[in-house]
């Protein structure tokens, strides 16, 4: 059974500082996704990582994938309040079904 | 492109009644749709996979007679919660996928709807 774990579960960030969220998964997968969810809303797609060593960046967020370690990281550079949300990683398993991580709630404070 | 809608966005129903939620892909053909449930402060859990023209595949622990799924066309899937109880109150999110890639969207992406908040009183 595919398991996906994220840590930390909650992260209080100071504006302007850098932070990293980790996503570990238990079995081989060919795709890893990062999503953002604002309170009461659905998911917003951030990144899809398709291969070992893949790195993608958008604004202050950068995601990377190490398939050998079954690890993805989401790095936040110079946090700003607008980044406050819950972030999920998700991994494809059999039949392209997505298994979601536990989620990391980010809160940016001044 | 790749817009998925859900209707209604929120619904309140009485215990014992049934409620239907629609999921539509507006600008692409979705041969596969997925239904997820999310309880407060928890992650998304896949309930079932819906393939156009065939029976849905349910995840372990999801009652297929309680959560009826119909995927009658390439742009519409419905989830009917039958005999709803307060413990069914949740945020239901659908996603749509075109694994063929022929309708102009990425074949490996799932495109998520805005969600439906169900409250059973």
Domains contained in chain A, number:
1
Residues A22, A38: Cα–Cα separation, whole Å: 19
Beta carbons of B93 and A43 less than 8 angstroms apart? yes
Best of A5, A35, A36, A42 to disrupt the B interface by mutation (most B CBs within 10 Å)?
A42
Q: Are A88 and A37 in contact (CB under 8 A)?
A: yes
Of how many residues is chain A composed?
110
Query: CA A75, A77, A81: angle at the middle one, nearest 5?
Result: 110
Residue B101: list chain A partners with CB under 8 A: none
What tokens appear for B108 in the block? 């490996």
pLDDT in tens, B52-88: 888 999 999 999 999 999 998 999 999 999 999 999 9
Domain residue limits at A90: 4-109
For B78-98, how does the pLDDT look when each residue is reduced to its tens digit (9 = 90+)?
Answer: 999 999 999 999 999 999 998
Q: A34, A41, A43, A89: which to substitute to probe chain B, counting the most B Cβ within 10 Å?
A: A43
Kind of pairing between the strands at A10-14 and A104-109: parallel
Which residue of chain A is at minimal alpha-carbon distance from B92? A42
- Top-confidence residue, B72 or A80: A80
Q: Would you say residue A103 has pLDDT above 80?
A: yes
Q: In this structure, are residues A74 and A34 in contact, taking their beta carbons and an 8 Å threshold?
A: yes
CATH number at residue A36: 2.60.40.10
- Hey, are the CB atoms on A98 and B32 less than 8 Å from each other? no
By CA distance, what is B38's nearest residue in A? A42
């Amino acid at each position: 059974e595919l398991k996906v774990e994220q840590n930390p579960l909650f992260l209080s960030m100071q504006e302007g500082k850098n932070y990293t969220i980790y996503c570990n998964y238990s079995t081989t997968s060919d795709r890893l996704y990062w999503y953002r969810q604002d309170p009461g809303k659905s998911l917003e797609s951030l990144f899809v990582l398709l291969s070992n060593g893949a790195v993608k960046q958008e604004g202050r967020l950068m995601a990377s994938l190490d398939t050998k370690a079954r690890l993805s990281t989401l790095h936040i550079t110079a946090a700003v309040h607008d980044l406050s949300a819950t972030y999920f990683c998700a991994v494809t398993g059999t039949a392209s079904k997505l298994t979601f991580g536990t989620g990391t709630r980010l809160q940016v404070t001044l | 492109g790749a817009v998925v809608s859900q209707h209604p966005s929120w619904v309140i129903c009485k215990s014992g009644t049934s409620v239907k939620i629609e999921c539509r892909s507006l600008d692409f053909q979705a041969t596969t749709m997925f239904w997820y449930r999310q309880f407060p402060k928890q992650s998304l859990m896949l309930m079932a996979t819906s393939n156009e023209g065939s029976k849905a595949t349910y995840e372990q622990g999801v009652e297929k007679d309680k959560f009826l799924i119909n995927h009658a066309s390439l742009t519409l899937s419905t989830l009917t919660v039958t005999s709803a109880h307060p413990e069914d109150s949740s945020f239901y999110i659908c996603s749509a996928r075109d694994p063929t890639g022929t309708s102009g969207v990425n074949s490996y992406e799932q495109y998520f709807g805005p969600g439906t908040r169900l409250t059973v009183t």
